[in-house]
């Protein structure tokens, strides 16, 4: 499979080891391990192979024994991490965290960036949730308030759920990085009930922009038809 030419990554990984005791968090250990991995660049060895080679150095006791007992099943990082969580992440906790993901709801006065971060936190708590990306995006959308859903649809130019997963993700992340969306809750507290009217104005403006765009497209189509008709007459 290869070897690691530097002992530095190994030493850093060994500084925070997981032994499989009841008080330890397997999911948190995986996240920390990946953060350490991202600190280093190891040439000539594929990422997947590096992760599998490094991971046993982050283990102790029965956790390390379990890894080597099932070494033939841990040839790829996806399998390795899944097997690790299946062994050391309690089933009841997994079910509870999956329930949090599937029952996600946008909180009162929570902005789009905050709601997205809130949802992503649920996913990070249970990386082995097993839900496909399109279902995650659908779950996020259905957990938003009615007003936010209308705004998302307007931003999508129609129906947000008609987007592909990559398109929907790009739109949400763009909205999440937009300073205006980040300041939405602050404006709510400053303006009180008037913010509800402001949201309605914003949504109306977005819908009007969409309507004008469609009218422009139809105007262009009509001009093209008239040009064709005129050229046929001459």
Both 70 and 108 in one domain: the answer is no
For residues 16 and 61, state if they share a domain: yes
- Are residues 121 and 183 both part of a single domain? yes
Query: What per-residue confidence (pLDDT) applies to 118?
Result: 93
Q: Is 190 found in the same domain as 174?
A: yes
DSSP output for 59-76: B-HHHHHHHHHTGGG-SS
**pLDDT attached to residue 102:** 95
Answer with the one of 89, 115, 131 that is the final residue of a domain. 89
Question: Could you tell me the CA-to-CA distances from 102 to 65, 116, 126, 218 in Å, in that order?
Answer: 34, 14, 12, 41
pLDDT averaged per 10 residues, the chain (length 234):
63 92 90 89 84 94 93 89 88 88 93 92 85 94 94 91 94 81 48 47 54 56 49 48
Instruction: Point out the domain boundary residue: 33, 67, 89.
Output: 89
17 and 49 inside one domain = yes
End-to-end CA distance of the chain: 75
**Same domain membership, residue 72 and residue 21:** yes
Nearest to 56 by CA among 5, 19, 21: 19
Q: What was the pLDDT predicted at 4?
A: 53
Q: Same domain for 85 and 109?
A: no
Q: Find, among 145, 143, 147, 160, the residue nearest to 210 by Cα.
A: 160
Structurally, the chain folds into a number of domains equal to 2
* Domain assignment present for 107: yes
Task: Note whether 118 and 200 are same-domain residues.
Answer: yes
Domain that holds residue 140: 95-207
* CA distance linking residue 71 with residue 80, whole number of Å: 9
82 plus 103 within the same structural domain = no
Asked if the structure places residue 69 within a domain, the reply is yes
Q: How far is residue 198 CA from its own chain's centroid? A: 29
Same domain, 137 and 176: yes
Pair 180, 166 in one domain: yes
């Amino acid at each position: 499979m290869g070897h690691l030419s530097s002992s530095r990554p190994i030493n850093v990984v060994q500084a925070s080891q997981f032994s499989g005791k009841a008080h330890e968090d397997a999911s948190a250990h995986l996240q920390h391990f990946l953060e350490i991995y991202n600190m280093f660049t190891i040439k000539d060895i594929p990422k997947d192979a590096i992760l599998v080679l490094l991971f046993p150095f982050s283990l102790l006791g029965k956790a390390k024994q379990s890894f080597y007992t099932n070494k033939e099943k841990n040839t790829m990082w996806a399998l390795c991490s899944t097997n690790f969580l299946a062994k050391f992440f309690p089933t009841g906790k997994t079910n509870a965290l999956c329930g949090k993901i599937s029952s996600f709801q946008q909180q009162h006065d929570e902005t789009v960036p905050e709601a997205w971060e809130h949802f992503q936190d649920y996913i990070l708590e249970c990386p082995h949730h097993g839900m496909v990306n399109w279902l995650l995006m659908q779950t996020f959308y259905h957990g938003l308030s009615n007003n936010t859903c209308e705004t998302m649809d307007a931003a999508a130019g129609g129906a947000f759920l008609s987007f592909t997963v990559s398109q929907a993700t790009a739109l949400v992340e763009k909205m999440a990085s937009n300073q205006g969306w980040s300041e939405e809750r602050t404006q709510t507290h400053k303006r009180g009930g008037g913010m509800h009217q402001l949201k309605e104005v914003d949504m109306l403006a977005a819908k009007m922009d969409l309507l004008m765009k469609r009218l422009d497209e139809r105007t262009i189509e009509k001009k093209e038809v008239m040009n064709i008709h005129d050229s046929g007459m001459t």
